[in-house]
């Protein structure tokens, strides 16, 4: 049986959703509860923090634009046996694409409505008082399918400030379930793609415990737990996303870590063996592997080490002669000929593709992607289209190889980041994309 749950959302990004979600997970864990975390939308950093806070349960992404109803239900069913579900939204509660995808437009509200979870609204109340209640009332009335169970006030400056805020919410008839004071001493560090990765923070356990203490001290945990609603039962299980091979050499270190947890889970569920290797430690793919997969990450932060990793580069080239090698975003850049760092220095990469990228003049590329491959990717020969997400700051200097796919954004507008591929002389296929695969597409425009 799926336990009761709720979804943490807000009017906008940067309001403190992640702070509250992690704090709630940690606080409930400290009470001895088993917490199942989820993340709404295409985020590959926050789930790692959720997993660290939950300790015994891995977080997973729920994405209404890229996932069909069966996949959403199957992922939600992994919460079976937990005491409570805590899901974190993305951006603002109703923010999504203009054109719907598989199940919705990617908004956190889609997930809340489909799963039957009430929304716990986080409001950054800096610079306002009673007006915060008016904002919350607007969100509460915008869609009758989405129910607000209460609010948590974040960055409250003083007791007087809090009393004014509570007066506004009393008038609006919305329960205040917590009021967090301004705190700068326990903020999690961030970089250009979001939070610094969980594995890079040696004091993460202490920071999560501090967040849990903060939420437990300033929020009504009993009322929040009581507000959680039993999740709707799943429908028929989703067909697993095909594994790219039986033995998958997976690049895994601080430079290559952005892969969606449900992909790895599906691959393993089909009997695939994951064989991690570290390019930063100058390791080559396991020779017995049938495919190599380089996820996204931060190759630009480690470009000198990658350029000097001769064992990795030579081993990858030998592997690619006869077997498939695929890279996503950062992994794609690492498969290219060169990468120009922010200081203008060019670093050679693996050279399996002709791609040249640069971070000297950064430009954000962000959004959902629908790709129709021109060649069959490992394990995905039967998928006419793929749904994914692109988020990076690299500029393409040169992309001379054949385009891998016809790629459009969520509105059907063509994008230049088509990916590329090369057939190797001895039968191998090297391919790469700037988007991260979320799931094969069913509903395509």
Whole-number Å distance between alpha carbons of 165 and 133: 7
> Catalytic: 329?
yes
Q: Phi and psi of 436, rounded to 5°?
A: -95, 125
The two beta strands, 429-433 and 395-398, are unpaired
State phi, psi for 216 to the nearest 5 degrees.
-65, -35
What per-residue confidence (pLDDT) applies to 231? 83
Give the pLDDT score at 189. 62
Residue 1 pLDDT: 73
Catalytic option among 122, 198, 228, 329: 329
Please, are residues 4 and 227 in contact by the beta-carbon 8 Å criterion? no
Contact 337, 355 (CB under 8 A): yes
Nearest of 102, 105, 108, 110 to residue 67 by alpha carbon: 102
Give residue 68's pLDDT: 93
Q: What is the structure's pLDDT at 104?
A: 96
Alpha-carbon torsion 153, 12, 387, 364, what sign?
A: negative
Tokens 């991260």 locate to 436
- Residue 45 has a pLDDT of 86
In this prediction, residue 234 carries a pLDDT of 63
Task: Give mean pLDDT in consecutive 10-residue pieces for the chain, a chain of 445 residues.
Answer: 93 94 98 98 90 94 96 93 97 97 97 96 96 98 97 97 97 97 73 60 86 97 97 78 97 94 95 98 98 96 97 98 97 98 97 97 90 94 94 94 97 96 95 96 73
Compute the distance between CA of residue 294 and CA of residue 427 in angstroms, rounded to an integer.
19
């Amino acid at each position: 049986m799926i336990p009761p749950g709720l979804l943490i959302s807000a009017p906008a990004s940067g309001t403190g959703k992640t702070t509250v979600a992690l704090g709630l997970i940690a606080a409930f864990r400290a009470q001895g509860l088993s917490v199942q975390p989820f993340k709404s939308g295409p985020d590959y950093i926050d789930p790692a923090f959720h997993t660290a806070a939950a300790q015994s349960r891995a977080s997973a992404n729920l994405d209404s634009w890229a996932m069909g109803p069966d996949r959403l239900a199957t992922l939600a069913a992994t919460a079976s046996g937990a005491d409570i579900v805590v899901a974190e939204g993305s951006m603002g509660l109703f923010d999504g694409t203009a054109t719907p995808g598989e199940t919705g437009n990617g908004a956190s509200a889609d997930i809340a409505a489909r799963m039957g979870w009430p929304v716990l609204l986080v409001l950054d109340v800096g610079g306002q008082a009673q007006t915060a209640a008016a904002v919350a009332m607007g969100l509460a009335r915008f869609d009758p399918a989405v129910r607000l169970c209460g609010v948590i006030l974040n960055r409250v400056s003083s007791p007087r400030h809090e009393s004014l805020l509570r007066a506004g919410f009393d008038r609006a008839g919305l329960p205040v379930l917590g009021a967090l004071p301004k705190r700068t001493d326990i903020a999690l560090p961030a970089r250009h793609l979001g939070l610094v990765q969980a594995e890079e923070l040696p004091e993460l356990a202490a920071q999560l415990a501090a967040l849990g203490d903060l939420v437990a001290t300033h929020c009504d945990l009993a009322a929040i737990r009581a507000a959680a609603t039993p999740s709707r039962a799943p429908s028929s299980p989703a067909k697993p996303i095909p594994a790219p091979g039986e033995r998958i050499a997976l690049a895994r270190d601080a430079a290559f870590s952005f892969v969606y947890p449900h992909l790895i889970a599906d691959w393993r569920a089909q009997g695939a063996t994951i064989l991690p290797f570290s390019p930063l430690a100058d390791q080559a793919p396991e020779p017995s592997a049938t495919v190599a997969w380089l996820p996204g990450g931060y190759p630009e932060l480690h470009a000198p080490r990658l350029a000097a990793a001769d064992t990795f580069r030579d081993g990858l080239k030998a592997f690619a002669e006869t077997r498939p090698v695929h890279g996503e975003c950062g992994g794609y850049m690492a498969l290219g000929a060169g990468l120009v760092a922010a200081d203008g220095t060019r670093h050679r990469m693996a050279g399996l593709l002709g791609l040249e990228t640069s971070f000297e003049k950064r430009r954000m590329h962000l959004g959902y992607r629908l790709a129709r491959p021109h060649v069959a990717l490992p394990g995905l020969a039967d998928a006419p289209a793929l749904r994914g997400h692109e988020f990076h700051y690299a500029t393409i200097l040169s992309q001379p190889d054949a385009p891998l796919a016809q790629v459009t954004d969520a509105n059907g507008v063509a994008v230049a980041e088509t990916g590329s591929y090369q057939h190797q002389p001895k039968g191998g296929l090297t391919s790469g994309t700037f988007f991260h695969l979320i799931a094969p597409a069913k509903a395509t425009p």
